[in-house]
Amino acid sequence: MKTIIQISGMHCKSCSMLIKSDLEDLGVNADIDHETGKSTLEFDETKITLEKIKATIKEAGYSVN
């Protein structure tokens, strides 16, 4: 599945890299732009849910819109 979500609370490239690393650990391919918050995600929905992805981002201290 491919989807686009909006992440807020990122202030620099390190923020987006942290989220990307956390998501890659879950098997999610993520392209995250810290300036706009636009995040394109690709993942196998038989292995992980969008809700789990959003929970992981929130656990890292960011908001998902």
Q: What is the pLDDT of residues 16-56, one digit of tens each?
A: 999 999 999 999 999 999 999 999 999 999 999 999 999 99
pTM: 0.94
DSSP letter (8 states) at residue 61: T
pLDDT at 20: 98
> Domain map of the chain by residue range?
2-64
Q: Which fold would CATH assign to domain 2-64?
A: Alpha-Beta Plaits (3.30.70)
pLDDT at 53: 98
pLDDT at 5: 98
Q: Are 2 and 53 in contact (CB under 8 A)?
A: no
**In terms of C-beta density within 10 A (0-12 exposed, 13-18 middle, 19 or more buried), how is residue 2 classed?**
exposed
pLDDT at 12: 96
pLDDT at 15: 97
pLDDT at 49: 98
Sign of torsion over alpha carbons 53, 9, 36, 34: negative
